[in-house]
Amino acid sequence: MIKHMSNFIINGGRKLHGTIKTNSAKNSAVAILCALPMIKGKTILSAMPKIEEVNRIIEILTSIGLKIRWLSDNRLEVINQGKINLKTINRDSYEKTRSAILLIGSLSSVFPSFVLPKTSGCKLGKRTVNPHVIALNHLGIKVKKAGDQFLINRGAAKGASFTMYESGDTATENAILAAALLQGKTEINLASPNYMVQDLCYFLIKAGAKIKGSGTTKLEITGVRKLKPINYAIMPDPIESMAFISIAITTGSRLKITHCPIEFLSLELEKLRVMGQNFKVGRAYKSTNGKFALVDLEIIPSKLTALPDKIYGRPFPGLNIDNLPLFLPILTQARGQTLVHDWVYENRAIYYTELNKLGAKVMLHDAHRVTVTGPTKLKPAEIVCPPALRPALNLLICMLRAKGKSILFNSYSIDRGYENICQRLSRLGADIKRLDSPR
């Protein structure tokens, strides 16, 4: 559990240099971890990121009976002896991470009926669970909200053909997890083809699931009787790649970022190219799990002009919804005005105005839209991290640009998704320190 609060002390204004490797994907890691109650035996997951979001899922899984231990080189050993007890679930950890909602899909193949708490995670406004509930209902799995918990009943569930109410990543993953061991054939239309959904599919296929159409908006799943334990490597995180792209551009630094999943960054790079950003893309190579094309990307300092059109996120293959916020620091250094439309979350755009404390010019129009005017000279400040991962990282990025001493209080939001961020940035020449204090 979280025993301390961390603050970041940043002396900004330094140019960064060198090479940094993209770590494994947070959203892939938590989805695959949530699949493990379905798989009896010993599973080894390599390249597992040591981040707070993963820690919360591990705490949940150990509390219900799985045995988990870290091995060397970020490998995680998970043993499921088939003795799962939901009465001992760690409610505190469960309620801290929204991704734990994926246990509804995986546990529906373990228990005919069960109860789970509600989840939380980033404070991004109203985040409906309707897409999850509706998709599972198509399969015959009933999910009812009762106070601060969910009541789940598998009943006579079986495969079915349906269209997702919303092309959401976790809602699609929940449907996949539920269908993998369900009798009959399931067809999911308007499925999310995003990176973490693909990674989950490839993991399940290696474990014995029958899934066709990974990477497309139509999935065909034929239920199997059981899944087998395997060894699997989590893919690199395109959102972390984008974070270092944003850091490099905002600070005017020349950086080489390795292991970038290029398929999930190509539109982001095209937007940057139109703005005037120079970069070099290396030759593609395969991820450790053999499923994703990776490249090494060199960012070259450039003078930027604001985009002539609004920028917005959308489901893959559009500009990634989690990469959209990472354009904000870049836009503070681009000449002109850019309209950013973050239509997915009610509260995230509001957090963007926190950058104004650092000298940015971010004008809030409504709960979803801001205009960023640049270039601006960023200045140091002392700010408390907002309870949302990407807006919190934006503050850190701009503090790296602002000449002088900044303090970013309560870094838990960032620690949820980025491993050893201070150490990794220090190796690039950043003057950043982490100060832990008891809660």
Q: Which residue has the tokens 């990674």?
A: 199
How far, rounded to the nearest angstrom, does the alpha carbon of residue 54 sit from its chain's CA centroid? Answer: 11
How far is Cα 187 from Cα 181, in angstroms, rounded to an integer?
Answer: 14
* Neighbour count for residue 306 (Cβ, 10 Å): 21
Alpha-carbon Rg of the chain, whole angstroms?
21
Helix H or strand E encompassing 106:
helix 103-107
Q: In angstroms, what CA-CA distances link 249 with 52, 84, 326?
A: 27, 48, 11
Residue 24: the pLDDT is: 97
d(CA 117, CA 340): 35
Q: Residue 146's pLDDT is what?
A: 87
Reported pTM = 0.95
Model pLDDT, residue 4: 60
Question: Residue 348: CB partners within 8 Å, gap ≥ 6?
Answer: 124, 125, 325, 342, 388, 390, 391
Cβ 35 vs Cβ 249: under 8 Å: no
Instruction: Give me the half-sphere count of Cα atoms (radius 13 Å) on the Cβ side of residue 319.
Output: 21
Task: Please provide residue 15's backbone torsions phi and psi, each rounded to the nearest 5 degrees.
Answer: -80, 135
Whose CA is closest to 249, among 356, 343, 323?
323
* Residues 378, 375: Cα–Cα separation, whole Å: 9
Question: How distant, in Å, are the alpha carbons of 177, 248, 328 from that of 157?
Answer: 13, 50, 45
Residue 127, helix vs strand vs coil? coil
Q: Which residue has the tokens 């839209």?
A: 369
Residue 67 has a pLDDT of 98
**pLDDT on residue 125:** 46
Which of these, 388, 382, 375, lies nearest to 331 by C-alpha position?
Answer: 375
Task: Number of helices (H) and strands (E) in the chain: give both, helices first.
Answer: 14, 24
Q: What residue has token string 């491993």?
A: 419
Question: Which residue ranges form the domains of the chain, and what is each CATH number?
Answer: 4-22+303-438 (3.65.10.10), 26-233 (3.65.10.10)
139 Cβ contact partners less than 8 Å away, ≥ 6 residues apart: 157, 158, 159, 160, 175, 178, 179, 182, 186
Residues of the chain with pLDDT under 50: 2-3, 123-125
- Within 10 angstroms of residue 3's Cβ, the number of other Cβ atoms is 7
